[in-house]
Amino acid sequence: MATKHAIGIDIGGTGIKGAIVDLETGALVSERRKVRTPAGGEPDDIIAATTELLETIGEDGDIDGLALGVCFPAIVKRGHTLSAANVSEQWIGLAAEERFEQSLGRDIHFINDADAAGVAELRFGAAADVDGLVILTTLGTGIGSAFLYDGVLVPNTELGHLELDADDAEHRAAYSAMEREELSWKQWAHRLQRFYAHVEFIFSPDLLVVGGGVSKHQEHFLPLLDLKTPIVPAVHRNNAGIIGAAALALD
């Protein structure tokens, strides 16, 4: 039987990236293409940039007939975006899936970006074959999260917005906070400890997975955390959204 491929596109606050993915292994089988997220992050501009990106992906091979998954930094429910992280507030309440399909000229599977990353780790990475509750968190501009229970995604969790010390957790503990405040790894790990210990107390997970680009530097901060729950770096890092969106495209 021929190997199944699909396209995944990951829309972020600074960049939009995509590729063709092998759905048996989770590997990218085309060059990862990227365009900048338009300044202001307004719907028409992002949809146009995503359409441009898809055309560029098509330069790497025939994409006609390939399923397409798109992930986005927002709560996504029944095709509507109900929040907006690092993009225009015009997305809130928008029938975004329909708008993308009209511009792209094809059906898509539309999902929250952290949930897509969680599915990538569930099918091809650190969460594969793990029983019970796995919580993936992405540490970047904010903190995204995905809950995976016995292999099933529970969508649209927002752990970055847990209130800790009278502030959103992500404002103090995201990787952007480390950069913004010029924290040392040890200082940042102290904030992560507060966040992950709180998550652990509330949800009693069986495994914590840390994603986002900073996970490639996990040796600087994960060993500094003192938790009852095993905590490991994600396998797919910044490609996880692409892989997860593609993996869900045929579901």
CATH code for the domain of 147? 3.30.420.40
Name the residue among 169, 152, 151, 150 with its Cα closest to residue 160: 169
The DSSP code for 244 is H
In this structure, the answer to whether residues 227 and 163 fall within a common structural domain is yes
Q: Which residues pair with 71 in a beta bridge?
A: 10, 111
Residue 120 lies in a domain: no
Whether 19 maps to a domain, the answer reads yes
Give residue-wise pLDDT tens across range 29-42. 999 999 999 999 99
208-245: per-residue pLDDT in tens?
A: 999 988 999 999 999 999 999 999 999 998 899 999 99
Which residues form the domain of 54?
5-115+240-248
Sequence-separated (6 or more) residues with CB below 8 Å from residue 194: 164, 165, 173
pLDDT at residue 3, rounded to an integer: 66
pLDDT at 1: 40
- Say whether both 110 and 48 belong to one domain: yes
Cα separation values, 183 from 17, 135, 162, 175, 249, Å: 29, 25, 21, 10, 39
Q: Which of 44-48, 84-88, 205-209 has the lowest mean pLDDT?
A: 84-88
Please count the helices (runs of H) and the strands (runs of E) in the chain. 7, 14
Tell me, yes or no, whether 50 and 89 share the same domain.
Answer: yes
Query: Over the stretch 162-211, which tens digit does the pLDDT of each residue have?
Result: 999 899 999 999 999 999 999 999 999 999 999 999 999 999 999 999 99
Q: Please check whether residues 110 and 150 belong to one and the same domain.
A: no
User: Distance between terminal CA atoms of the chain?
Assistant: 19
Q: What is the pLDDT of residue 251?
A: 79
**Please, what is the average pLDDT of the chain?**
95
124 lies in some domain: no
Tell me, yes or no, whether 244 and 226 share the same domain: no
Q: What's the pLDDT at 62? A: 83
Of 201, 210, 204, 203, residue with least CA distance to 231: 210
> What mean pLDDT is predicted for residues 107-116?
97
Q: Are residues 103 and 146 in the same domain?
A: no
Whether residue 188 is found in the same domain as residue 219: yes
Report whether 223 contacts 41 (CB < 8 A): no
Paired tokens of 200: 């652990």
Per-residue tokens: 250: 């045929």
- For the cut 90, the answer to whether the pLDDT of residue 250 exceeds it is no
Mean pLDDT (whole number) for 153-157: 96
CA distance linking residue 196 with residue 183, whole number of Å: 18
Does residue 121 fall inside a structural domain?
Answer: no
* 230 and 204, same domain (yes or no): yes
111 and 205 co-located in one domain: no
- Edge-to-edge strand ranges of the sheet holding 15-22: 33-36, 15-22, 5-11, 67-72, 109-112
Q: Of 115, 117, 118, whose CA–CA distance to 76 is shortest?
A: 115
C-alpha gyration radius of the chain: 17
To 5 degrees, how large is the angle CA 244–CA 218–CA 156? Answer: 35
Other residues' Cβ atoms within 10 Å of the Cβ of residue 113: 26
Query: Percent of the chain at pLDDT above 70?
Result: 99
- Please indicate, yes or no, whether residues 11 and 111 belong to a single structural domain of this protein: yes
Q: Do 146 and 211 fall within a single domain?
A: yes
Q: How confident is the model at residue 52 (pLDDT cuts 50, 70, 90)?
A: very high
Residue 1 vs residue 41, higher pLDDT = 41
Question: Region 104-110: what's the mean pLDDT?
Answer: 96
Q: How many domains does the chain have?
A: 2
Beta bridge partners of residue 20, listed in sequence order: 7
pTM metric for this prediction: 0.93
Residues 139, 87, single domain; the answer is no
